[in-house]
Amino acid sequence: MAEARLVRTTPAGLPELRRDAVDAETLAVASAIVEDVRARGEAALREHAARLGDLQEGGALVIERPFLDAALSTLDRADRDLLERSAERIRTFARAQRAALTDAEVPVPGGAAGHTVAPVERAGCYAPGGRFPLPSSVLMTAVTARAAGVAEVWVASPRPTQVTLAAAAVAGADAVLAVGGAQAIAALAYGAGPVPPVDVIVGPGNRFVTAAKQLVSGRVRIDMLAGPSELVVLCDATADPETVAADLLAQAEHDPDALPVVVSTDAAVLDAVDAALARQLAVLPTAPTASLAVAGGYSVLCADLDEAIAVCDRLAPEHLELSLASAAALAPRFLHYGGLFIGEGSAEVLGDYGAGPNHVLPTGSTARFSGGLSIFDFLRVRTWLRIDDTEAVRPLARDAAQLARLEGLEAHARAAERRS
């Protein structure tokens, strides 16, 4: 195999990350599955799950809470403690986010208006189960849903392992749908047999999962349409090239389409990172995948720090690491990223594995207008109006009538005038 190297380029030669989340062919395949499950329910769900290798004939479609608890009880004590420690860090961060949102009330003529913050009733949390089952994604999604106050939490994951089921127990999930792909998303959105329709679907998945989420968006809320993983590392001469390379490879091993990018104003730093990547790839068990991603990644030489910051903001990556001597001082200058990791000690993988902030993050430059998964994805802000004083409300009612007539809506005006 030829040596994999990042493509050396300048900011002008760096392509945009913005792209369609799903290609037309994938969308067509997912659409057929989603519509079939919508129309035929459990029978279609089972057929697609069996066809795609998720279920054996007559296998359990849903794994109920007692079986999740059993998986947890038989887990190695060290592994159980690990899941519980990680879940508690995620829960603590999510609860702090929830505490930052409060109900509000303001006076209006004749009464008051306000809002209440309330969770959705039911959430569906998807966790990949392909080459690398991700119990960490179970924790990130289901723990966050529970912290938001969601009453019923479902996890969907194809061919769930004992650790995945144990993670669902630790996270407080009610049940696991042992199915993946577009058929799982359709079941969560529309309901299928024992699977009830949910209000929100969150979590990372492959292109068919992403396509299905796009198709059911509007029927349910979704968190985002995520693509392959991305990491941009901005580094200077104080950075350790071996550490930078290790962080880039941690993203590269996810998927051949993952995007590792290193940015610097120092060509010698970029050369050192290239050399470190070659050394580490030579002994990395996941090199067949990681090397393909490295070959599709970039090494960007910038004229100065201002240009380097502009490059990072233009990319608006999923993960942005600042491996700089002055990382903390420079951090406020960056505008667009899914997750920011400040200083060489703040490894992106620590965010992946339960430091607290969520690892479900926007990709493809969508960080320009969206953020990562949080308790906010499971909450609704509901407004209300209460009028107690029928005399004091009259100026408001007269204004409402006048505005209605400006718009030509006479029935609106007459309804308002009944209060004036």
Of 159, 215, 226, nearest to 189 by C-alpha is 215
Q: Left if phi > 0, otherwise alpha if psi is -120 to 50, otherwise beta: which for 39?
A: alpha
Alpha helices in 176-266 (DSSP H): 181-190, 207-216, 241-252
Interatomic CA distance for residues 404 and 381, integer angstroms: 26
CB 299 within 8 A of CB 274: yes
3-class state of residue 187 by DSSP: helix
Closest alpha carbon to 321 in 242, 252, 262, 270: 262
CATH architecture of 7-19+228-359: 3-Layer(aba) Sandwich (3.40)
Q: Which of 180, 207, 136, 144 is nearest to 351 (CA)?
A: 136
User: Distance between CA 338 and CA 348 in Å, rounded?
Assistant: 11
Name which of 359, 357, 311 is nearest 333 in CA terms.
Answer: 311
Q: Which two tokens mark 29?
A: 């395949």
Q: Which residue type is seen at 54?
A: D
Give the residues across from 301 on adjacent strands. 264
Tell me which H or E stretch contains 81: helix 77-99
Instruction: Enumerate residues 6+ apart whose C-beta is below 8 A from 354.
Output: 85, 86, 87, 89, 90, 136, 139
Distance separating alpha carbons of residues 351 and 348, to the nearest angstrom? 5
- CA 139 to CA 127: how far, in whole Å? 9
Cβ contact 204:126 at 8 Å: yes
C-alpha distances out from residue 383 to 106, 109, 112, 334, 377, Å: 11, 17, 11, 34, 17
Q: Torsion angle, CA of 221/156/349/1, rounded to 10 degrees?
A: -110
Instruction: Kindly give the parts of the chain with pLDDT less than 50.
Output: 1
DSSP element (H, E) containing 39: helix 24-40
What letters, b where the CB count within 10 A reaches 16 and e where it falls short, cover 83-120? Answer: beebbebbbebbbebbeeeeeeeeeeebeeeebebebb
Q: How far apart are CA 48 and CA 42, in angstroms?
A: 10
Q: Which residues form the catalytic set? A: 318-319
Give me 37's structure tokens: 């499950």
Instruction: Supply the pTM of this predicted model.
Output: 0.94
Q: What is the second-level CATH architecture of the domain 41-222?
A: 3-Layer(aba) Sandwich (3.40)
Q: Which residue has the tokens 């024992």?
A: 194
Residue with tokens 């350790």: 240
The per-residue b/e assignment along 30-66, b for 16 or more CB within 10 angstroms, e otherwise, is bbebbebbbeebeebbbbbbeebebbeeeeebbbeee
- The amino acid present at 235, given as its one-letter code, is C
Going by C-alpha positions, the residue among 84, 281, 48 that lies closest to residue 158 is: 48
Q: What is the pLDDT of residue 19?
A: 75
Instruction: Report the alpha-carbon distance of residue 210 to residue 362 in Å, rounded.
Output: 12
Would you call 406 helix, strand, or coil by DSSP? Answer: helix
Dihedral (Cα; 147, 374, 358, 286), 10-degree rounding: 110
What is the sign, positive or negative, of the torsion defined by CA atoms of 117, 118, 124, 126?
A: positive
- Check if the beta carbon of residue 396 is closer than 8 Å to that of residue 113: no
**Vertex 275 angle, CA 272 and 278, to 5°:** 150
